[in-house]
Amino acid sequence: MLIRSTWTLTTDATITLPKSYGLDLVKVLHTQLKIEMGSEAIPSTTFAGLVGNCSTSREFVTFRPEEFYQLSLSGLQDTSSKAIADLDLGNQLQFLGATFTIVNREDETTSYEALYQKLVANEPEPVHAFDLRFITPTAFSQNRLYLPLPVPTLMFRSWLERWNHFAPVYLGGDELVGYLGDAIALSRHRIQTCSVQVYQKPITGFTGDASLRVLSRLDPLLANVAHLLVQYGQFSGTGIKPRLGMGCTTWS
């Protein structure tokens, strides 16, 4: 089972929190989920919040009344997905002395088998372009550095690693990443860099839009596998530390 749950929140008063608030919030949520953070080699949850129109300074982020913010949690296997599906946050979310009012919740659910059947096994007409939006700072670990760029090979590698770890259907390894990296190009982007506080260390990532184009020489089956991984990225996140609020990705 896969789930992506999104809560819409608002506040009655201006709230100022440290830029590192995300770590405190994700700890609160994992406590309620009864999932121990740090116990999994590849985390079975991804997190994004609070996304919306807020002001940032060097050390703080400010949320304003009459604005709406979104908090998202995704589960990548049955146990974490069920915990998220059963999570009841009530009418308010409280942490670090701040109170947000919850006004809505939406759940998107599917399964690995359903995604694979629909996008690969049924041999649909291949999709040749993908428009991606990176909602929270996204980066990739490369030679002890963090790379804040939408490199297709690195995106597919991050999605494939999580798919192969959790899904019952193995898709392939480095050879598949190589094929996709050679035949799928970044056609355009509009991104900006920004930093996110993770523990005591700021990490620079990118947010914004990026489009991928499938070259004509790619086998239709592999084009469908690429489509599958792009769709999966909306649950798994992209790049490093998706459990801690980085790499939230949507596709249209």
Q: Which amino acid is at 138?
A: T
Q: What is the pLDDT of residues 187-246, one digit of tens each?
A: 999 999 998 888 778 899 999 999 999 987 889 999 999 999 999 999 999 999 999 999
Predicted local confidence at residue 184, as pLDDT: 96
Predicted local confidence at residue 59, as pLDDT: 87
> Is residue 233 within 8 Å of residue 249, measured between CB atoms?
yes
Predicted local confidence at residue 39, as pLDDT: 83
Backbone phi, then psi, for 149, in 5-degree steps? Answer: -140, 145
Residue 113 has pLDDT above 80, yes or no: yes
Q: Measured between alpha carbons, how far is 194 from 97 in angstroms, rounded to an integer? A: 26
Q: What is the pLDDT of residues 123-163, one digit of tens each?
A: 999 999 999 999 999 999 988 889 999 999 999 999 999 99
**DSSP string for residues in 69-118:** EEEEEEESSHHHHHHHHH---TTEEEETTEEEEEEEEEEEEE-HHHHHII
Q: Which residue has the higher pLDDT, 15 or 66?
A: 15
> Helices 152-166 and 174-183, interaxial angle, to 10°?
150
Q: Tell me the pTM.
A: 0.95
Which structural domains are found in the chain, ordered by start?
2-110 (3.30.70.1890), 116-251 (3.30.70.1900)
Predicted local confidence at residue 58, as pLDDT: 81
Mean pLDDT for the stretch of residues 96-115: 98
Residue 185 has pLDDT above 90, yes or no: yes
